[in-house]
A = this chain, B = another copy of it.
Amino acid sequence: MEQIIPFNKPFLTGKETSYIQDAVASGKISGNGKYTKLCHSFFESKYGFKKCLLTTSCTDALEMAAILINIQPGDEVIMPSYTFVSTANAFVLRGANIIFADSMNGNPNLDAESIEALITPKTKAIVPVHYAGIACDMDTIMALSSKYNLYVVEDAAQAIDSYYIGNDGVKKPLGGIGHLSAFSFHETKNIISGEGGMLVVNDAIFAQRAEIIWEKGTNRSAFFRGEVDKYGWVDVGSSFLPSEIVAAFLWAQLEHLEEIQNKRKAIWNQYWEGLQPLKEKGILKLPIIPNYATNNAHMFYVVCNSLEQRTALIEGLKNENIHAVFHYLSLHKSPFYEYKHDGRELSQSDFYSDTLVRLPMYYELQENDVKQIIQLF
């Protein structure tokens, strides 16, 4: 049997199970223990995020954000149609109406220039999604936020260790620009814990309430710091915190962040260089990384010229035991939302739904594997 090259393969740094054993031996495996704190500190010190809170998923981090900005029924939230369902669901669960923006021509990220026309007196927030870990046009988005007094929640699910370079020349980590942001550690991400996520609080006005909502609506954390003399139910909330088992796993990954990133970037560059000739012949398009963005090598995708071409490509690779996969279907055309959408055509989003395909990308992918994949195009 020929070797199968999967789309994704979770990478283990080697310490995951021993840290889990350590957590278990400590007698503390529910949330907010030693490993959770190590992970929080790592992100806060490496990226300068004001406050980090691990969650059971990126979805849950987005739900925390929706609660924190106090989304009420009828509020409008602007986000790309070309995104994962959780980006939208987190706000729909609070009663929001989703106003879908189109992607750019040449880049699946939402077209920041198109946002202003979508803003109404009901608009409460903009949710840019940094697709493939490549930054959205954050200067434009933050300027709209200031002009119209809107919250910005970055969906940084794919954006760990990636940056935005502003007009002022300052390089800012993605997830550290909006008022709040959400990361994912799902098994398909660069850094993983199976399922898992993190809320980042950049605007300090949310810090205290974020901790309360995270702790099921109680002021338990303040109590254990000795700031209040008893703890009780003070707000809405949920059980957003993951167990120490999950946090211990994540910590083992974070210790190897640099090594993982270097390896992924090498794979990404090999694809990029190897596929240039096809790009030049107009057979397919490659990712465009704007001057304001960096590349965290979360994903290597190509964009075909048509659905038919993509179907044939996926099929052809599959016949050689190589698993390449398409990605989102435009949310504004979904069975759940097509009747709620305002009818605007979002042709770029539909285009990426039809033509984008993601190639295998994981730590243990070999140079020869990538060479083989490129040759099959």
Contact residues in B for A29 (Cβ distance below 8 Å): 10, 187, 192, 194
What sequence of 0s and 1s flags, for each residue 52-84 of chain A, a beta carbon within 8 Å of any chain B beta carbon? 000011111001000100000100000000001
Query: Residue A238 contacts which of B84, B93, B187 (CB distance < 8 angstroms)?
Result: B93
Is the pair B249, A187 in contact by a Cβ cutoff of 8 Å? no
CB atoms of A89 and B17 under 8 A apart: no
Contact B232 A329 (CB under 8 A): yes
Residues of B within 8 A of A192 (CB): 29
A195, B335: Cβ atoms closer than 8 Å: no
Query: 1/0 contact trace for A313-356 toward B, CB 8 Å?
Result: 00000000000000001010011110000000000000000000
A283 within 8 Å of B (CB atoms): no
How far does the alpha carbon of A216 sit from the alpha carbon of B334 in the complex, in Å? 14
Question: Would you call A24 an interface residue if the criterion is a C-beta within 8 Å of the partner chain's C-beta atoms?
Answer: yes
Q: Indicate how many identical chains form the complex.
A: 2
Nearest CB of B to A308, in Å: 17
B10 contacts A195, CB within 8 Å?
no
Question: Does A144 count as interface, using CB distance less than 8 angstroms?
Answer: no
Instruction: Give the complex CA separation of A6 and B27 in angstroms.
Output: 10
| Interface of chain A residues 204 through 241 with chain B (CB within 8 A) | 216-218, 230, 232-239, 241
Question: A216 touches which one: B21, B86, B218, B242 (CB < 8 A)?
Answer: B86
Chain A contact residues, majority secondary structure: loop
A125 within 8 A of B: no
Q: Is A376 an interface residue (CB 8 A)?
A: no
A336 and B195 in contact, given A60-B239, A73-B73 (Cβ under 8 angstroms): no
Which residues of chain B are near A334, meaning CB under 8 Å? Answer: 232-234
Chain B: minimal CB distance from A32 (Å): 10
Tell yes or no: A118 within 8 A of B by CB: no
A89 touches B217 (CB 8 A): yes
Total count of chain A residues near the partner, CB < 8 A = 63
Contact, CB under 8 Å: B232 / A335: yes
Whether A57 contacts B59 by the Cβ 8 Å rule is: no
Is there an interface contact between A242 and B187, defined as CB atoms closer than 8 Å? Answer: no
Q: Taking the nearest CB of chain B, how far is it from the CB of A114, in angstroms? A: 22
Q: Are B56 and A242 neighbours in the complex by a CB distance under 8 Å?
A: yes
| Contact assessment for B335 and A233 in the assembled complex, using a CB-CB cutoff below 8 Å | yes
Chain B residues with CB under 8 A of A57: 56, 238-239
Question: Once bound together, how far apart are the Cα atoms of A337 and B233, in whole Å?
Answer: 8
In the complex, A286 has a CB within 8 A of chain B: no
CA of A328 to CA of B89 in the docked complex: distance in angstroms? 32
Binding site for B on A (CB under 8 A): 6, 9-10, 12, 16-17, 20-21, 24, 27-31, 56-60, 63, 67, 73, 84-86, 88-90, 92-93, 186-188, 192-196, 216-218, 230, 232-239, 241-246, 249, 329, 331, 334-337
A-B contacts, 22 listed (Cβ < 8 Å): A12-B24, A29-B192, A30-B187, A30-B195, A31-B195, A56-B60, A57-B239, A58-B239, A67-B93, A86-B216, A89-B217, A89-B233, A89-B237, A194-B245, A194-B246, A232-B334, A232-B336, A233-B329, A233-B336, A234-B335, A236-B336, A245-B245
